[in-house]
Amino acid sequence: MKRLAILLCWIALSWWGTADAAFLTVVDNAGRSVTLDGPPKRIIALTPGNTEILFALGAEDRIVAVDRWSDFPPAAKAKPQVAPFNPSLEQIVRFNPDLILSTYGSAEPLLPLERQGIRVMIFAPRTLDDIYRNILVIGRIVDAEARAEGLVRAMRQRMTAVVAKVGDAPRPKVFIEFDGSDPSRPFTAGPGSFIDVLIRLAGGINVAAHSRTTWPQFSLEELIRADPDLIILSDALAP
């Protein structure tokens, strides 16, 4: 009987490494310490980036709902959808999640759910290092650390290769349309956004780099004055 008790204790301690590790505390992009009492089994992802990370880490079976813009990989479109901004708490609760991966703006209305044991984490990367870190953190959360490390390593290698190729190339002026819901004033990526970083690393000059906000709107007149060499449509042509 004593041996059985010892064996059961060993199994319990080995479930997530150590007794303390059964309670995993991680820090999100808002600097909030969030403690999980075990690997989450039902996750709601309220940004396309978080959805893609979960799929890339092989944790898609844990996703119970996504935001309406999560359309990659294609399998993400088959997941139930929720409104990312001003979400219905009743709808959220019906999915019975134990973790919600959110972003700035949409997280605050969800915080009261933590009193019901539903953890909310804010992942809103501003730099590539933020993205790498978020992948590693989410990898810890879903118990896929090795896969997360491999993904980050591959991304760093691809980025290094791109930077090397464009080192001596011409630097075109680029406007990237981030949100075209208002065709007369599309949102774009300004300073402090990881998209701005990507444009520079890829050899371009972001025409919105000197905007006052991270996600500014450009009128069509402003866009003409900016005179970009390249316009990238990331949203306007989406169905």
Q: What is the pLDDT of residue 63?
A: 97
Q: Which two tokens stand for residue 37?
A: 């009492």
> What is the C-alpha to C-alpha distance for residues 47 and 108, in angstroms, rounded to an integer?
15
**Burial label, 42 (beta-carbon count in 10 A; 0-12, 13-18, 19+):** middle
Confidence of residue 235 (pLDDT cuts 50, 70, 90): low
CB 138 within 8 A of CB 53: yes
Q: HSE of 155 in the Cβ direction (CA atoms, 13 Å)?
A: 17
* Residue 99 falls inside a structural domain: yes
Domain boundary among 120, 153, 186: 153
CATH of the domain at 212: 3.40.50.1980
Asked whether the predicted pLDDT for residue 116 surpasses 90, the reply is: no
121 and 202 in a single domain? The answer is no
Q: What is the pLDDT of residues 220-233, one digit of tens each?
A: 999 999 999 999 98
* Residue 167 falls inside a structural domain: no
Confidence of residue 16 (pLDDT cuts 50, 70, 90): very low
Report how many domains make up the chain: 2
21 and 86 in a single domain? The answer is yes
Buried b (16+ CB within 10 A) or exposed e, 79-107: beebebeebeeeebeeeebbbbbbbeebb
114 and 209 in a single domain? The answer is no
> What is the C-alpha to C-alpha distance for residues 146 and 64, in angstroms, rounded to an integer?
24
Tell me the whole-structure pTM to 2 decimals: 0.79
Average pLDDT, the chain: 85
Asked whether the predicted pLDDT for residue 85 surpasses 80, the reply is: no
* Residue 30 falls inside a structural domain: yes
